[in-house]
Amino acid sequence: MNRLLAVASNTFRETVRERVLYNLVFFALAMTLSGLLLSELSIRQDEKIIKDVGLAAIDFFGTLIAVFIGVGLVSKEMERRSLHPLLAKPLRRTEFFLGKYVGLAGTLLVNTSVMTLGMLGTLKMVGHRPDLNLLSAVYPLYLGMLVVVAVALLLSTLTSSALAAVGTVGVALAGRYSDVIRNMRQVAPGAPPELVTVLYYVLPNFANFDFKDKVAYGDPVGAASLGLVTLYAAFYIAILLSLGLASFNRRDL
């Protein structure tokens, strides 16, 4: 466990030093601009728009980091062979793999937390009480990012980092339009029904992590919904990481 945490801590340090958190600057810029430009609008409108922009930015930047840093987490180490001296030590491949995952999860947690604070600060700046109900939209978004990282890690153990990036973006996009996939035969009658069914059930449905609209309108999200979405994410993460580990543990490096 200590070795896993050492890898996680070093991965976090790597992302910080590789300036991954610089995306926060863009987030801050988006929040400031929306706060300033929308101050002319009516009270209800500017609050909702700040929440919409803030949550969308958290989702966008978080998913971007999850895809592109996630894909490079292990594949970059394999390509550069920087993991060779480490895996010859008492560090198990499983510890290395999971440590990289936990490290990026930590980076995303810091990133998401800072953005959330920024969004709450912007709301306060334009004269609204910070709405802690926003956390019930941010938390599922964070779970969605963790699923994306697991997809990226799995694909990066199976193929090149470029293909893994394309595949992860594909899964992240397709997973947001699961309903379209389910109803694909209505718009494309020629689509093989088995394929459509398999895609619908295999791909994670990222719409399940999306409570943005509900929260922006001020509707509460129940604890049961949050519990279910946590189990849903845990199920996918466990399957994806197990498959990734099975591939990584057998791979010649």
Partner 1 sequence: MTEQPSANAVTLSRLTKSYRVGHVFQKRKTVLHELTFEVRQGEIFGYLGPNGSGKTTTLKVLSRLLFPDGGEVTILGRPLADPSWRAKAGYLPEHPYLYDYLTAREYLDYVGQLFGMARPARTERTRLLLRLVGLERSADVALRRFSKGMVQRAGLAQALMNDPDLVILDEPMSGLDPLGRRLVRDVILGLKKEGKTVLFSTHILSDAETLCDRIAILRAGRLLDVGRLADILRLDVAHMEVLVSGVDPERVELEGIHGRHVLGERHRLEVEEKALGAVVRAVEQAGGRILAVQPIRQSLEDFFVQEMGRPGNGAPGGEEA
Residues within the interface to partner 1 (CB under 8 A): 2-3, 6-7, 10, 13-14, 17-18, 80-82, 84-92, 250, 252-253
Q: Of 3 and 214, which CB lies nearer to partner 1 in the complex structure? A: 3
Q: For residue 64, give the amino acid letter.
A: L
Instruction: Tell me the closest approach of the beta carbon of residue 13 to partner 1, in angstroms.
Output: 8
Query: Crossing angle, helix 223-250 and helix 93-125, to 10 degrees?
Result: 150
CB 249 to partner 1: min, Å: 10
Of residues 15 and 111, the one with the C-beta less far from partner 1: 15
CA-CA distance, 181 to 25, in Å (whole number)? 36
What contacts 24+ positions apart, CB below 8 Å, involve 15-21? 15/69, 15/103, 15/104, 15/107, 16/107, 20/65, 20/69, 20/107, 20/111, 21/107, 21/110, 21/111, 21/114
Q: Which residue has the tokens 């560090």?
A: 91
Q: Considering the complex, state which of residue 94 and residue 183 has its C-beta at the smaller distance from partner 1.
A: 94
From 170, 182, 173, 156, select the one nearest 76 (Cα to Cα). 156
Of residues 12 and 142, the one with the C-beta less far from partner 1 = 12
Q: Please state the closest distance from residue 36 (CB atom) to partner 1, in A.
A: 36
Tokens standing for 111?
């990133």
Q: How far is the CB of 92 from partner 1 (least distance, A)?
A: 7
Q: How far is the CB of 10 from partner 1 (least distance, A)?
A: 5
Alpha-carbon distance of 206 to 147, in angstroms, equals 9
Return the number of the residue (15 or 116) whose C-beta is nearest partner 1. 15
